[in-house]
Chain A
Amino acid sequence: MNFKTQRVAYPYFVVALLLFALQLVMGLYIAFNYFYTVPQEVVNVFPFSTARAMHTNLLVLWLLLGFMGATYYTVPEETQSELAWPRVAYAQLILLTGTGVAALVGFFFGWTQGRPLLEIPTTLDVLVVIGALMFLANVAVTIFRARRFTAVQGTLLAGLVFLAAMYLFGMPFYENLAIDWYYWWWVIHLWVEGAWELVTAALMAFMMIQLTGVERKVVEKWLYVELGLFLFTGLAGTGHHYYWIAAPRYWLWVGGIFSALEPLPIAFMLIDTWRSMRHSSRPQPRLTWVYVIGMAVLHFVGAGLFGFAHTLPQINYYTHGSQVTVSHGHLAFFGAYVLLNLSFFYFAIPRLKGFPEGRYDERGGHWGFWLLSSGVVGMSLAMAVAGVLQTYLERVQGQPYIVAQSPIRFWMMIVFLHGFLVLGGALVVIKHLLTLRPAPAPGR
């Protein structure tokens, strides 16, 4: 850590990690509902729907808090100046966490906007927007005051502005269901396959420069190519969600072709990361590389391969809205954004704590990574089996939903069991990160 105000990042990381654990508990509850007949009295009070809203909103909240913390860590370093308003950054954390908690309590009492992943009621949305504006202003002012513009922070700021702008499309009430979903995807798809990828590319580039000492010029050149590919495929690729919403037929072509190319930039990022590691001139703790490479690989598998598997309209006609989607959703979110956040935490926390050369005691941390990752991979594979079964029984054979679900319940139990690996791994990671110690002196 070279700048005092980078310290504001740490409480963001802590809150993010705690919310992560809560998210997983909700995940276990909804998976349980899939194979066990929860009695009507319980369903009336705490149904699947409420718990699912909590599970997904916690996910989005903690990932975004992680990104914000990571940005507050990165910007002073990139601008070579202190953050403009550190106190505002703390206030923003309190505001956003408070809004998140209010939303969760509200869900329990049925206060919801009722649209999947965007359940936060409009009143609270306003608070989210205020928090986002505080954040963007803080970052922008820091950059413009310092007058030091780098491609990395330009990408980061552009990605964050893009992210915040898209959120606005999810706020109004749309009368027409088709138009509602049209813009719902401007939030969800243009986030995960647009804005968030920009943020990821920027944070990865920043970490690579710091971790390996590769030349900034080289990193930035490939950053431009990567971003161009992401946006070229990702913007028009939104069409892969417009096949069956009462939109014109040409979306089948445009969505299919552009989204089929979406794995390319992700593969590019994987190769780039691998090469940087091989050419690294600075030794780093092994665990840092385990996370960074783990992220690049599972990002490619979850988003690139699992995404490609159901993106062509001929296949999507049968898999759309089945457990196949859930399988991809989990592995992609985990590989790309959960592991990005955790990688960044492992990169930043030792530096924030002032450990020499950012070295830390890795013991215990490896267990966390492997438990967590094998848990999520196993869970996603079980979901994929459930999804293929559902596709065949319900969509191809034409069995009624509830009949086709009965053999699927077994696979959801397997999902549930893997959930314990995930939760266990996450607890190990959280404990390790929050009690990180300096590397033991050599020879001891």
Chain B
Amino acid sequence: MSQRAAKLIFWVGTLSSLALFLGMTWDTHRSFAALTHADRLDANVVAGKRAFEKYNCNDCHTILGFGAYYAPDLTRAYKRLGEDAIRLRIASPEKVLAGSYRKMPQQHVKPEEIDRLVDFLRWVSDIDNHDWPPQDSATRWKAATRRLIGGAAMSPGAALVAQENCLSCHALGDAGEHRGPRFEYIATRRDAAWITRYLADPEAMTPGAVMPAFGTLSESQRRSVAEFITSLADRSTP
């Protein structure tokens, strides 16, 4: 190969790739507004992002899969945990995570900063990023729930969930709210015995939990609710 040919390879290779890259950068900028729902990106969300950086959350947690891998990914934390659960974990990690083998620091985040962090995580949880991460994929959760609900007659547990209006705080399938954790997510890590006890006295299991006690329900009622929730864990891979 001659010197000339070598230089030609250099210039053609570099400039073609650069042109493609810059062109796509331009186009990507046009798309970000829709894909990230930039219309919902208000001053509160921006303040939340600043707090997220101020406390260096990203050097333990990933978000969008970037950052440190020491703690759960926060991209869909809002959808998975709900805002009251998030608040509690930022405000008093030393209590909530007391039993865990891995700790999150008590950083004395101010209450209004916690609100902004929730605004930020709510906004992030809605962005359209080809359904990553897989473990929090809403399509996957909802598919499992639809199968379950479609396949069986209404179980007594499900009826109690409807009767007690749990979905005014929790998400299930396409229904519900995001104040507490999504039921399908609870099902991946709790067993029926644990949930039965929890429903009677949440405070005893998770100090500070913003979850009403359902001591009015009998033990067997609580058990059937718990069994309904754990039955949601049957999640086949997408």
Residues of A within 8 A of B (CB): 30, 33-34, 37-40, 43-44, 47-50, 52-53, 110, 112-116, 119, 173, 175-179, 181-182, 184, 217, 220-222, 224-225, 227-229, 231-236, 238-239, 242-252, 254, 258, 317-318, 320-323, 325-326, 394-403, 405-406, 409
A217 cross-chain contacts in B, Cβ below 8 A? 3
Interface centre among A325, A401, A402 (most CB of B within 10 A): A401
Residue in contact with B68 in the complex, picked from A48, A317, A398, A402, CB distance below 8 Å: A48
User: Of B10, B65, B73, B103, which contacts A225 at CB under 8 A?
Assistant: B10
Contact yes or no, A49 B59, CB < 8 A: yes
- Contact indicator A227/B32 (Cβ below 8 Å): no
B 1-32 binary contact with A (CB < 8 Å = 1; else 0): 11100110111111011101100110111011
A400 near B58 (CB under 8 angstroms)? Answer: no
Pick the 10 closest A-B CB pairs, nearest first. A114-B53, A321-B65, A232-B13, A49-B59, A228-B13, A244-B132, A228-B10, A401-B72, A224-B6, A235-B17
Q: Given A40-B103, A47-B60, A232-B17, does the pair A244, B130 have CB atoms closer than 8 Å?
A: yes
Residues of A within 8 A of B60 (CB): 47-49, 52
Q: Which of A113, A245, A318 has the most CB of B within 10 A?
A: A245
**Contacts A53-B59, A224-B9, A396-B237 hold; do A176 and B53 have CB atoms under 8 A apart?**
no
**Contact residues, B218-233 vs A (CB, 8 A):** none
- Complex CA gap A217/B6 in Å reads 11
A325 to B13, CA, bound (A): 28
CB distance from B9 to the nearest CB of A (A): 4
B197 in contact (CB, < 8 A): no
- Which residues of B are interface residues toward A (Cβ below 8 A)? 1-3, 6-7, 9-14, 16-18, 20-21, 24-25, 27-29, 31-32, 35-36, 38, 41, 46, 49-50, 52-60, 62-73, 94, 98, 100-107, 124, 127-130, 132-135, 140, 185, 188-189, 235, 237
Known A224-B6, A248-B28; judge A48-B237 contact (CB<8 A): no
CB-nearest residue of chain A to B66:
A181
Q: A43-B105, A178-B36, A236-B17 are in contact. List 19 more A-B contacts (CB 8 A).
A: A114-B53, A178-B129, A179-B32, A181-B66, A221-B2, A225-B6, A229-B13, A233-B17, A235-B18, A235-B21, A239-B24, A246-B32, A246-B127, A248-B31, A321-B69, A323-B69, A395-B134, A397-B237, A402-B72
Q: Are A114 and B52 in contact (CB under 8 A)?
A: yes
